[in-house]
Structure 1
């Protein structure tokens, strides 16, 4: 059997003997065989110099003989023979086959033999001449291979032999990934086969290779093929995707009609204009635009651009997006070739290349006119083919250069069916405002403002979405409040109901939307939002800076940025700037992102810092309540209970003390007194529940026990002020007993003071004497300056009530002197001084020293900064009005008392209200206007029952006696209707009303009324 020797030289070289690869000890054996396999023969000298160029002739020839021996030995035959002494050749008698010979003889037929470059990977040490020979043959074979491949590809393209041609091209690309021609041919093949996705894939394969390895872009020819394919369908697919609207759309009928009329007018009148859609996040601007544009595709071709806040400083970037869309249409309609389009863009944007996307390029001022002309020309040519809509979304993020270009382009367009549609947020940048104002002044801008759905619209939307599923009005209210009427949120919530899932305000889609809105905030902004999300309401700017331990200037800058992004909003409240979330849902989202441990940490930090800020911030019950809330959320329950009691204490001190101790404002919650009353009732209930929850765990805790005493004191004080005397006295006596046992002097003094207030309200003189004495003794024993001064005033009031005017005056003056020791004390205790002055004014009234009384009362009012709305100050106005009444200055008295009445209207437990109403009625009575007094008697039971105060009853019966007297003695001054009304209201005798009035009126404080009744009685007796 004859041996078959095979040389595979194209690709990784191999020498096979009967299909088995043979290996040689030296690479130069291979090299000699490879050379002979290609050339057939070689001279000994040539072979020796080729393989051993650095050896002398004798050594080289010796090595050559050994190499020939090794080759023949391994191949088991005389493969290399010597026809003569000078020549070497392969033995022609042997069956020797080479792939290179067959390939070079018929490359088209044997193209598959080319498995790689000639002698791929073979290296001969110190063989430069051999390497030169290899390179020469390698280049020759490669050129033949490429020429043959391209020939075969051309044949395949003409014969639609797609698969074979594709395979050849992929092989070419694999062999030389930097040869663009191969990519271009493959792209053409895919283009011919209508496979645009493969064209794009191949193109980006080329882009990635060139960019990664060489840092260059594809050639214009490659780009042209790509653009031809992409432009064919990109715009249609983009618009189809853009118009896809997964949200069910409902409502906005008026807005839809306005949009459709705008598009219809554009087609009819061929006038270029702009329509602006304005609304908040999630309001439905995009949905509305897509809803209407989906019905306009038959008449309009659409180009869109989105503006982003991250790119607001990138000059003309929105117009680059618009020009991308216009470029697709231009190439699709063959108005320009890709090369010409790119050249035109490059001329307008000389600093950029066409495919350089999302890079900030400064607006080249010198090319402004050129760019305007270019855009106008393109728009006009496209509009001649088919009407055009240019939609620019979120135009509030457009840079100034883009806005300038938009304005100039619109100025030069006329009589073309081109409709610009802009959407924007509620805010407007100065640059955008200038642009819009210019368009408005030209009559080229219409505007549609999208408002949140009303309660009725939200209900209709929810019911339409739920179809047959029932929903209660309470559910609708809940969804409406949670969504704030924002359609996107409503849609999410109704989908939750449809799936019968538990309601959560933050659905995955809402989280995703809000996540995108907040995605690009820095860590400092996030920190600010974290702090703010932990707070239940708006936070003063200064407080926010103090919470974050940052300079106010830095926080202002952060807040300004977040307001610009429509995440936060500012609002003025007095001298404060309050910061809050623009939408409640954003606050929920920011809070939801916090881990449980982070929430507790932040709440604890906020509570601690607010506590530290208490001496620096304006005093406010709201602040105390906020501290309690944050301590509760940080699970510091004892501190939370303490500050809940602080909140109650501050509110009750202002609302339910006749004269609050300190003149500085406690800063009431911004509610009417009735609202505060309901709020405090809820607060009491909440604290009772908290105490019940904590008792088992903290029953032996001393701090907790002291808080229990304090709560009993606050509850008792509240009950007494609101007329629930039995419950109040019980609680206060409990406080006094515990305070005595625990030596808590402050609670002991406060307990006495509350019992004295009870005695004042019900005119209980014996107990008032007892408790005022105890209070003063306890204050002196404790050396408590403040309590001594207050006890002196209260004891002075007792002596006033019992008619011991000199002693009362002395004690009241002592109280004033205590508080006037220093100017600082006088300022701090202004209300206490004013209260004593008011009582001195009352003493002057009793003594008929009305001018002196007016002086005292005016001084009291001046000390309290003329704030009649405050309960204690209103009392001073009542006293002043009564003084004017007895001076006969009825108009002035009426003016002062009316002011006090207006102030008391917001108080649910207005002190001295009965006295105020009686004197106002008497002023009208003396002026001959009887109806106010008669109307007042119509609800006399209410006036008498509020505090069960004898004086209130005496005042009402005083008025009844006066009216009865008028009916008896001067009945002709009353109208018939008034007479009938008096007869119906007053069925008893004058004596009856006189006796009750005299019994209940204080003979000293009401001496003028008692005296008047006695005079009326005498007059009636004299007549009879």
Structure 2
């Protein structure tokens, strides 16, 4: 029996009594247990709350969520030791099987007894529970530095308060029914002391006062009710409350309206009817996927046909035998990148304590074991799920990269995680509402399903198939796609459903036929129609006259008929829910509806009982409710008057600002619909940044477009400086996204709009911004002359440029000049490029940050590479690498490393070259920088070419050409083709070498890359000369020399004269040959170009030998041999040098030495082979 005597609230046999309702304390032996350490008290309170075993990992997370698990466990051990020593009897603390508990037989806790009293449900048990409630759970106690503990305590506090209020409400009813009005008044007043916004309790108290004859107290209570509602919610009382007030005013006894007793309608969880074939199809797909390779099944059908039901039923069956992840798209989250994937992954990485065997049902996350995926890939996914950083404290940060490369890397990370978790079933509902980035990723995943035991099941509406057209097309190309279309139920299935809900009634077969014809067998339409008829009691009438059935014209009308029968508060709550979207939680809907918590809970219970809402299984705690069908939400939303709809959206925005301040997409939507345009602008900008951080280009662009539309409304005359700056930046950013997606006409439209805005406003910063982007895109299109012209025209208007320039113009000026310098470099105009880059350095100033100095130094490195000053170029590229690292630009680091590697190659530092190229390739692969990876692979193949490993180099360079072309890198493709042509030439495959090099010439000429063009012409001339076509070779090399001389490309100028010397020698023009060889030697000597100098010396020696001057020839071939160890094997093989020297020695009568050098030549040839 429950005892109400205060002295007997705790049993006498309890050694330790813990009071947690109100200010917490622990009593032992008639006094308070001294526990000086706050953490020890917190642990005791946590263990006493349920008196059930708690997993150690849950306690670790509760107290030290950001500490590595091993450290947290060590701290917990110390804390448990401290608590054990502080307890009156150490064995009160039980530790077994990695779980911790207090001895429930000897410890009593008021919260445990309180819950037992409320669960008992009897009046005696409820009175006992109410007596135990001395105040809020852990009132006045906190644990700073442990946010998870604070969150748990808050949830327990809410749960206990809710039970307490429910108990009081029940006791008010019970005492009133028993005629004990004074006790009922006492319980009602205690209720309002905790929740003075409970309008139904105010109303009951008014009725109770009136029933006892205290009219004055009843009217005062009405005034208190009005004041509380106005003060807290800015709303007036309900009609029912005003009716009670008016009855008391005229002296009539108020008519008590009892709380509605909710009668739940028949549940929808009837067996799936008419879907046997569909289930078999899915089972077969499951078998195929789990024997490999993976499969994708897309289920289509009209709204309400049962796609989601089929998906969830099938997933539920499989969940007992394999891992299943579930996510879904919603209209409100279409602009939220990766939303369905995040939803699915969140169920994987975050488990509730209840799921892990604990006793807390608060949804607090517990650690999960690392999955069979490296932390490097999980770090990429932490961009989408920041909470992973708490679960894996040792996780490295995601690697920075250019947006396009980082997006590719994130796609890879998601795919690797999914494949690593196989066998896995990934279920994605309502893909027609999914964001475009999710759809793009699904295509990516579909291309990598080979060897994985992974089944992806998705659903979409047939009427919205355009939204997934690209997905279906691209998945079909992979061969992994299967399509399954659901049709309406047949007559037999409709009849079975009818009999399941209404029983067997005469005439039901004709009714089922009629219902099938009208609804098309759509399960939702069928169910809603039957349910509407059952609610109104007209089911037998309808069955009796099936042919003349007065069915609603549409299901919308059927839903609306049901809405009219809701209580006023429930309707308000449903309207607030419709504003929020398909899924929502208690707090936001309560704040929008402006109703107290308990009233809102009662309304939600009513809506769930009426099958208008559902409590979502497995949904996050923040969104436990969802609409039974989206059509219900649409009907409710459409019924709102425009002004009320706007007001509710405004309330939603303000509520979610407090509850979910980072949900920028949702906040932007509500504030825009609510008419608060400045707020909407702020959150669209934040949402665009969030989407860009996740490389979700389409969603980013959607927000950018909304920003521009809002700016048109807020600043139609375009006079606000802030609005102008924001408009200009958004246009520039959107132009870039359109460029990335290949929509060049739309990109140009944005650039033209930006230029027009700059012109009309006269704003110099906008003019710089417009010029920067126009110049950049002209460069990317290979229109270098136009790029330079565009930049110069703008810079003339700004001149004279102050040195150093003020912000914010400095950065844009420097970037424009870098683009100008790069254009000049590609056009073979190094002096002009150098001048532009030096101007950029002057504007940047000595204190310029690495993000400005890095690109300048990088392009200076290119200029000096072009001019053949490899030492200076190396110094600049090393400076660029350091700047890129300091700025966190790892894509820039990858490019700098490969350029450093190339320069070491040119200088003959093969070990250093290999190290830098290897580092560049590894970094590019790690960050998903595909363009840099392609160049790193190409230059690594050049390292093989320069070493004389021609066959290996040729194999790798063949692979490099399509890789460059895939990324539209014509420069890179030309470089790979030049290397491939030289490798084939050395391998004796002259015909193929000629074809490849002719392609390289055309490609370099098309993009006006002068250095590459000269290089390709020389290589092609070398091949044609080997074929005996001296005149043709002479013409090609002469053009190369002209290009190299005009563009100051020293290496190619020296190489050009070396091959021209060979051509003249083979044509018996020995005077001309010797002059060309000496010019090659001079140029190479001045520029520290050992391979060209070696080549020139070899040609000079052979020419003098042909003239009969063997002694003079010897001096040249000896110098050539001395340079072999510094030179590479790309242009001229070192075996040619040794053979030439052997010929000269033989002519001088030194056969032994000649034989030795000829042997060296053969050894080199054998090694290369």
Q: Shorter chain as normaliser: what TM range? A: 0.3 to 0.5
TM-score, L = length of structure 2: 0.35
TM-score, L = length of structure 1: 0.40
The structure with higher relative contact order (CA 8 Å, sep 6+) is 2
Larger Rg: 1
